[in-house]
């Protein structure tokens, strides 16, 4: 064991090599990755990740949600472990850093500890959570949600993608339906390292972001049923055009945040139009609604306004309206002591830090229910994420991983 573990630093070249290897899996021509949950690309990413865990002799476990855990033993393995990780699945044509940096950053932490023969009091476990993005299968953070006891496993198993493929069938197809039940176990602490996915850190000139929590997130699916008919022979006043109704509703979602204020954001990111033919009036439209805000009551009040407006529009357009909820996540507050630890470590390592709030959802939201939880953010260039141009400076990746190393190590040394 090293005499001065305070001097430990990660191997930045090794971290970058692992990240570059992972970024080839599902790589897109424009420099991003397309690695949807439970796809062949997700399987390939999982396979190489497991091989890397085995290379440093971790005890690998896969649960029946496909969550992958790698355990490094401590002096006292009866003590609750320190858990750290993120996800390897991506958004459609998403970025190379989102999720993967947190998984590979934790891997580099464990490689460093192993290389330097550091023995911790507690075990340390690395995790890759299944279906964090929720793009192929709703809802997001499915693996951590089931593990934490917040989501129902059978309901998740029966979710289908846009091609009708079932979550469970795809999980089994790629060989990651593990024999161990996805069920939470005692934890001492949870750390999640991630890119910020916004412009705040870059604009502030800070290197490390320390979110005090995650905003509340509400996802709804809106279904409209009108009447299909010939586009040339049906008078305008006689139409039940589901797409026109959806268009009005979507504009209302876009205008809602300016009416509500207090930092609310609203997005329609998914839309399906049938029969999707140039000369046929649309009769079936499905679109998503995503509302987010730190103020806990504002999201629900905003949705009630939208719902009333949607009903009015549907009646005017002579369309049937159905609404289903796919996710409703209250804001998550992180552990003050762990956040303070990140700030202290950042200061000692010479990295300027900024306290903030996360506008993106993360697996840490569910983990914060059951254990002291904190996140470490690295700046996103131009605030871009979920796009192929997503990028982060390598010196910032190294800085964040060094902060993660010393935070995980400090927690794992606690008796």
Give the C-alpha separation, 306 to 70, whole Å: 44
Count the Cβ atoms, other than its own, within 10 Å of residue 414: 12
The DSSP code sequence of 181-220 is -------SEEEEEEE--SSHHHHHT-SEEEEEEE-EEEEE
Q: Cα separations (Å) of 188 from 38, 42, 133?
A: 30, 29, 26
Give the C-alpha separation, 403 to 406, whole Å: 5
Domains in the chain, ordered, with CATH? 5-215+331-412 (3.40.630.10), 216-329 (3.30.70.360)
Peptide bond into 139 cis (omega under 30): yes
Give the C-alpha separation, 409 to 412, whole Å: 5
What is this structure's pTM? 0.90
Strand pairing report for 320-329 and 124-129: unpaired
Task: Give the relative orientation of helices 40-55 and 12-23 as an angle to the nearest 10 degrees.
Answer: 150
pLDDT 10s per residue in the chain (415 long)?
445 677 899 999 999 999 999 999 999 999 999 999 999 999 999 999 999 999 999 999 999 999 999 999 999 999 999 999 999 999 999 999 999 999 999 999 999 999 999 999 999 999 999 999 999 999 999 999 999 999 999 999 999 999 999 999 999 999 999 999 999 999 999 999 999 999 999 999 999 999 999 999 999 999 999 999 999 999 999 999 999 999 999 999 999 999 998 899 999 999 999 999 999 999 999 999 999 999 878 999 999 999 999 999 999 999 999 999 998 988 999 999 999 999 999 999 999 999 999 999 999 999 999 999 999 999 999 999 999 999 999 999 999 999 999 999 999 999 9
Give the C-alpha separation, 106 to 28, whole Å: 25
Helix ranges (H only) for 24-57 are 40-55
Query: Could you tell me which of 194, 165, 133, 201 has the C-alpha nearest to residue 376?
Result: 194
Determine contact, residues 152/371, Cβ cutoff 8 Å. Answer: no
């Amino acid at each position: 064991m090293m005499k001065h573990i305070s001097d430990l630093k990660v191997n930045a070249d090794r971290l970058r090599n692992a990240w570059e290897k992972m970024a080839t899996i599902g790589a897109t021509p424009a420099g991003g990755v397309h690695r949807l949950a439970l796809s062949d690309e997700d399987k390939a990413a999982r396979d190489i990740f497991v091989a890397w865990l085995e290379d440093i002799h971790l005890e690998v476990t896969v649960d029946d949600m496909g969550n992958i855990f790698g355990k490094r033993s401590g002096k006292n393995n009866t003590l609750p472990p320190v858990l750290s990780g993120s996800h390897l699945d991506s958004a459609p044509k998403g970025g190379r850093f989102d999720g993967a940096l947190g998984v590979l950053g934790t891997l580099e932490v464990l490689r460093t500890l192993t290389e330097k023969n550091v023995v911790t009091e507690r075990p340390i476990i690395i995790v890759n959570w299944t279906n964090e993005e929720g793009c192929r299968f709703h809802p997001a953070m499915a693996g951590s949600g089931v593990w934490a006891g917040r989501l129902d496993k059978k309901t998740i198993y029966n979710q289908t993608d846009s091609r009708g493929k079932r979550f469970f069938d795809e999980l089994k197809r790629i060989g990651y339906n593990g024999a161990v039940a996805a069920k939470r176990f005692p934890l001492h602490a949870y750390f999640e390292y991630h890119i910020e996915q916004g412009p705040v850190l870059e604009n502030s000139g800070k290197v490390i972001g320390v979110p005090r929590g995650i905003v509340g997130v509400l996802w709804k699916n809106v279904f409209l049923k009108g009447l299909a008919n010939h586009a040339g022979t049906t008078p305008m006043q006689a139409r039940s055009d589901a797409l026109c109704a959806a268009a009005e509703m979507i504009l209302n979602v876009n205008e809602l945040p300016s009416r509500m204020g207090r930092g609310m954001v609203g997005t329609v990111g998914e839309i399906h139009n049938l029969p999707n033919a140039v000369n046929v009036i649309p009769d079936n439209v499905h679109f998503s609604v995503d509302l987010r805000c730190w103020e806990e009551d504002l999201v629900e009040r905003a949705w009630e306004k939208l719902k009333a407006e949607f009903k009015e529009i549907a009646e005017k357009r002579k369309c049937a309206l159905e609404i289903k909820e796919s996710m409703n996540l209250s804001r998550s507050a992180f552990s003050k002591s762990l956040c303070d630890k990140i700030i202290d470590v950042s200061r000692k390592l010479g990295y300027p830090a900024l306290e903030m709030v996360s506008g993106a959802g993360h697996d840490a939201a569910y983990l914060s229910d059951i254990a002291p939880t904190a996140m470490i953010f690295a700046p996103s260039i131009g605030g871009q994420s979920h796009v192929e141009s997503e990028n982060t400076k390598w010196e910032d990746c190294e800085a964040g991983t060094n902060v993660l190393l010393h935070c995980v190590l400090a927690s794992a040394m606690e008796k």
